[in-house]
Amino acid sequence: MHTQPQAQARASQPARGGEALPGTGSAPGAAGGPAAPSAPAVPPPIEIHDMTVAYHHKPVLWDIDLVLPEGKLIGIVGPNGAGKSTLFKAILGLVPLASGWVRVYGERYQPRRGLIGYVPQRETVDWDFPVDVLDVVLMGSYGRLGWFRRPGRREREQAYEALRQVGIEGLARRQISQLSGGQQQRVFLARALCQQARIYLMDEPFASVDAATERAIIAILHELRRRGCTVVVIHHDLQTVAETFDWLVLLNMRVIAAGPTSEVMTDENLARTYGGRLNLLSRVAELVARQPAHGG
C-alpha cells in the first residue's frame, strides 16, 4: 500500500513511522512546557537543519536551516548560481551533504520518495532520449507501482488525464525530442501530476513558456494547493512573486530570509539576496529615465 495524497489522510494521522525530531514538537514532554495530550504535531513536509552542500569541496549551500510549511505555495528566489537547484537536489538525495540533514515528513527521503514530485530544470534534461510523451508521463506512476509492475490501463487513463490537465493530450505519442520548450515543460508537469505526490518541487516551471502556458501552470499550482499539497517553485520573475506565492525563501548560498511573502519581500532582503545589484539596476534605470533623449 502506498500513501494517500489527500488532505484528509494527512489531517487524521501523523506521518507513519515519523521519528521525533528536534523542533517538530512531536515528542511528548519536549522542552518548552507540557505537551498537548492530543493532536500530535505532524512533522513539516520538509525540514532542513544545518545543511552544507559542496561540489568538489567548494560549498555552494551553507548552513541551511529551513522548515517549509504544509499546504502552501512556496517560492524559492535568488540569483543565478545561488544554489536553488542544488537545494532541490539535496532534498531529493541526488547530491551528498557535507553536513546536516534533511527530513521529509520527519523521515529520510528514501522511504518518503513517493511523496515528492519533482519537475527538473528543463535545460538539465536529455531531450534526445528516445521515448514518447506518454512514456515519460507514465514514469510518474512507477513510484506507486514499484519497479516490477508495469503500468496498466488505470495508470494510462491517469496519464491521459494529466496530459489533458496540462493541455497536450494530442501529443501523447510524440517523441519528446520533437517538442517545443513549453510543451516539454508541460510533459514534466503531467508526469508530476500523475505521481499524486504530497510535495512538489518545481525547478523554474515558468522558464520560456508563453502567457497561456503560464496561466495553465498557475491554475495547476492552485489546484495542487487546494488538494492540500505543498508546492515549492524556483522562480525568477520578481514582478510576479508577490501575487503567486504565499510563502517565500530568499536564497543566496544561505537562507537570507524565509516566511510569508509579504514579510519577506522587503527592499533590504532583496538587496541582500542579489548583492545590491537590484539597487544598482534600479538606480541605473532612474538615471537613464532622467537623461535627455539624445546621444553623446
Would you tell me how many other CB atoms lie within 10 Å of the CB of residue 27? 15
60 is an interface residue for ligand ATP by CB under 6 A: yes
Window 89-128: contact mask with ligand ATP (x via CB under 6 A) = --------------------------------x-------
In the region spanning residues 191 to 220, those forming contacts with Mg ion, defined by CB under 5 A, are none
- Of 80 and 110, the one with the shorter C-beta distance to ligand ATP is 80
CB of 124 or CB of 291, closer to ligand ATP: 124
Contact letters for Mg ion, residues 113-152 (x by CB under 5 A):
--------x-------------------------------
Shortest CB 100 distance to Mg ion, Å: 20
Residues in 56-95 at the binding interface with Mg ion, rule: CB under 5 A: 85
Nearer to Mg ion, 85 or 269 (CB): 85
**How far does CA 21 lie from the centroid of its chain?**
23
User: Would you count residue 84 as binding ligand ATP (CB under 6 A)?
Assistant: yes
Here the cell at position 233 is 517553485
Considering only 51, 64, 74, 82, the residue that binds ligand ATP (CB under 6 A) is: 82
Asked if 201 touches ligand ATP (CB under 6 A), the answer is no
Q: Does 191 bind ligand ATP (CB under 6 A)?
A: no
CB of 279 to Mg ion, least distance (A): 24
Quick check: 143 binds ligand ATP (CB under 6 A)?
no
Angle at 202 between CA 199 and CA 207, to 5 degrees: 160
To ligand ATP, the closest distance from the beta carbon of 54 in angstroms equals 9
For ligand ATP, the binding residues (CB under 6 A) are 55-56, 60, 78, 80-86, 121
